[in-house]
Amino acid sequence: MNTVQISPVFRKEMEQIRGMKPRFFNNDSLGRLSPLTRLLFIGLWCRADKEGRLEDRPRAIKKAILGYDDVTAGQVNGMLQDLHDSGLIARYQAEDGCYIQVVNFSKFQTQLSKGTK
């Protein structure tokens, strides 16, 4: 039988596949935000590590998630702040930089993993 080699890049991308449950779209806090901010939030889930964290770099986030949209890094920063103010993400600073924590990310991903085994 032939064995298939999976590239490290592809493996990393596969590890970051996220699932959204239908109730996600019924979240009142999320529903108060603009459609582009909601899309940004979904993108943050895809960019976050396995603990739901990522660097708080609005310009890089804009490029990675909203690259084709006519928004500035400053506007993305404002959307991130709206998500923070809504309690959906936590923006924080550590000794080595600024970060985002997607609130309840680990809990959701654990439930998702248990449901797919």
Give pLDDT, residue 109: 65
**Strand-pair partners of 102:** 89
Give pLDDT, residue 72: 97
pLDDT tens digits, one per residue of 49-86: 988 999 999 999 999 999 999 999 999 999 999 999 99
Specify the 3-state DSSP secondary structure of 90: strand
- Residue 40 in contact with residue 66, Cβ under 8 Å? yes
Angstrom CA distances, 16 to 3, 49, 52, 67, stand at 23, 7, 10, 19
Q: Which amino acid is at 15?
A: E
Cα gap 36→40, rounded to integer Å: 6
pLDDT tens digits, one per residue of 12-41: 555 566 677 777 778 888 999 999 999 999
- Residue 98 in contact with residue 92, Cβ under 8 Å? yes
